[in-house]
Amino acid sequence: VTVATLTRDHLAETLAGPGLRVRTGPFAYRVRTDLPELVDLIHLLYADFPLWPEDLVDFEVRLSRTRRRAPWQRRALDLELDGITTHRALPRSHVSAYLDWSLNWCICGRAPSLVLLHAAVLERPDGSGAVLMPAASGSGKSTLCAALACRGWRLLTDELAVLRVGSSQVLPLARPVSLKNRSIDAIRAFAPDRPLGPVAAHPRDGTVAYLLPPADSVRRCDEPARPAWIVFPRYRVDAPALLRPAPKAGALFRLIGQLVGAPYLDSDRFAWLADLVDRSPCFDLTYSALEDGVAAVEAATAAAP
Amino acid sequence: VVPPNADDRAVRWQISFPESLATRSWGTDVVLHDGATRSVHRLDAFSAAVLDVLKAGPADVAALTNDLAARFDLDRADLPEQVERVCRELGRRQLIEPSRP
């Protein structure tokens, strides 16, 4: 049973009342809101997400009309995480980004036994393995990730890779893909038939729109993948696509640089990440045209490691 | 902690947390993890060799120079300065520290 089975009105009632319980990969969570624009967004972007039948969830997020009623705060929202108001009177124009941010925040806090990396992860269409694309925000990682997802690659995550130490697996966390500024038009041009949410303001990065994750990727939220290649993507205006092998020591160092919660890096995790780098072909990819970027990732991952 | 204005060549250096170091190397490139401070460092082969010598016990610049020169058949002319520079850097990163008497 997915969110799409609920009518818009039923979804709005659920979100305003007991909350919508959904699951993304290893996490089940509850979302509550009385903001109509967020109901519309969830109705569109989370349509394929499975409803979580249990009352017990890993965390709860609530975005609601602010309780402060100063005239200039009428269009503001309050953010609650697990019943505690963490932010008051945030601008409602940023609501989509706040939902995304709050889910990431809760996931990062609920996964001490997992390794989390700032990285996109996609599985090749033939299922032969997954490519890990670690990079900081603004590097073009999510844009390339969206393009690959539009070409039939299974989306595991566009920004937060969840790795289970010891099992050599990356867990799915497919969610709407966050596209910012010029990336929005780039994906519109690359895949004009793929649904995008409305363009909204982002608190830090100009504008943001979310790409609907492929239904197949959301449905397969129980299937981990084997990370087999590491590609460090970098968007550069007008640069020709350039794919080069990346030295392993530098790759490990940069991979650790994208670790979420670096204090958790104990010796076991270090050894596990070093093993991952050791057995995975590593590449640096510079690109500007998405077609070239996709072709380069396909070339990098064509041969089994 | 690197002693300020000390005669660094007289200092006997030791690894701060010898049990907590783990390294992974590819060719001459080394990545070192210090489990005590949960920090990660990228080292060149020479710095890694200095650490390797110090695993045997505290040593001053002269002893390190002798050991490294013998191990790698190095020219001793600039070696003490090089060892001293590396010790300062490793000390700044809190991987090694002056040995207490």
Q: What is the pLDDT of residue B7?
A: 61
Pairwise CB contact (< 8 Å): A265 & B24? no
> For residues B17 and B13, what is the distance between their CA atoms, to the nearest angstrom?
12
Question: Of A254, A267, A268, which to mutate for an interface test with B (greatest number of B Cβ within 10 Å)?
Answer: A267
| Count of C-beta atoms within a 10 Å radius of residue A55 | 9
| Count of C-beta atoms within a 10 Å radius of residue B78 | 10
The shortest C-alpha distance from B27 to chain A (Å) reads 9
The shortest C-alpha distance from A163 to chain B (Å) reads 19
Q: State percent of chain A over pLDDT 70.
A: 98
User: Cβ(A86)–Cβ(A109) under 8 Å?
Assistant: no
Provide the pLDDT confidence category of residue B4 given band limits of 50, 70 and 90: very low
Pairwise CB contact (< 8 Å): B40 & A265? yes
Q: What is the amino acid identity at position A246?
A: A
Whole-prediction pTM value? Answer: 0.91
Q: Which two tokens stand for residue A7?
A: 């009518």
The shortest C-alpha distance from A266 to chain B (Å) reads 6
Spatial CA neighbour of B10 closest among B75, B74, B73, B87: B87
3-state secondary structure of A158: coil
Provide the pLDDT confidence category of residue B6 given band limits of 50, 70 and 90: low
Average pLDDT of span B35-50: 93
The shortest C-alpha distance from B34 to chain A (Å) reads 8
Helical pair A8-16 and A36-45, crossing angle rounded to 10 deg? 120
Please report which helix (H) or strand (E) contains residue B89, including its range: helix B79-92
Give the dihedral of Cα atoms A251, A253, A259, A262; nearest 10 deg. 170
Q: What are phi and psi of A21, to 5 degrees?
A: -100, 120
The shortest C-alpha distance from A18 to chain B (Å) reads 42
Looking from the CA of A33 toward its CB, the CA atoms found within 13 Å total 24
DSSP state of A239: P
Taking only the tens place, the pLDDT of each residue in A108-132 is 888 777 889 999 999 999 999 999 9
Taking only the tens place, the pLDDT of each residue in A33-61 is 999 999 999 999 999 999 999 999 999 99
Pairwise CB contact (< 8 Å): A263 & B38? yes
CA of residue A6 relative to chain centroid, distance: 24
Q: Are strands A206-211 and A177-180 parallel, antiparallel or unpaired?
A: antiparallel
Kindly state whether A250 is in contact with chain B, defined as any CB-CB distance less than 8 angstroms: yes
Indicate the residue of B22, B26, B38 with minimum beta-carbon distance to A248.
B26
ipTM over 0.90: no
User: Cβ(B3)–Cβ(A237) under 8 Å?
Assistant: no
> For residues A280 and A163, what is the distance between their CA atoms, to the nearest angstrom?
15
Between the two ends of chain B, the Cα-to-Cα distance in Å is 15
Sign of CA dihedral A208, A214, A219, A221: negative
Query: Can you list the positions of beta strands (E) in chain A?
Result: 20-24, 27-33, 59-65, 76-81, 84-91, 115-123, 130-134, 154-157, 160-164, 169-171, 177-180, 200-202, 206-211, 227-235, 242-245, 259-260, 282-287
Chain mean pLDDT for chain B: 89
The segments of chain A whose pLDDT lies below 70 read 68-69, 71-73, 262-263
A–B CB contacts, 8 A cutoff, strictly below: 43
> For residues A28 and A6, what is the distance between their CA atoms, to the nearest angstrom?
18
Pairwise CB contact (< 8 Å): B29 & A250? yes
Give the length of chain A. Answer: 305
Q: What is the pLDDT of residue A202?
A: 82
Nearest CA in chain B to A274: B24
Kindly state whether A185 is in contact with chain B, defined as any CB-CB distance less than 8 angstroms: no
Q: What is the amino acid identity at position A174?
A: A
Question: Of A252, A276, A280, which to mutate for an interface test with B (greatest number of B Cβ within 10 Å)?
Answer: A252
Query: CA A288 → CA A206, A233, A257, A262, distances in Å?
Result: 20, 10, 24, 31
Q: Which residues of B touch A263 (CB under 8 A)?
A: 38
Q: Which residues of B touch A249 (CB under 8 A)?
A: 24-27, 29-31, 42
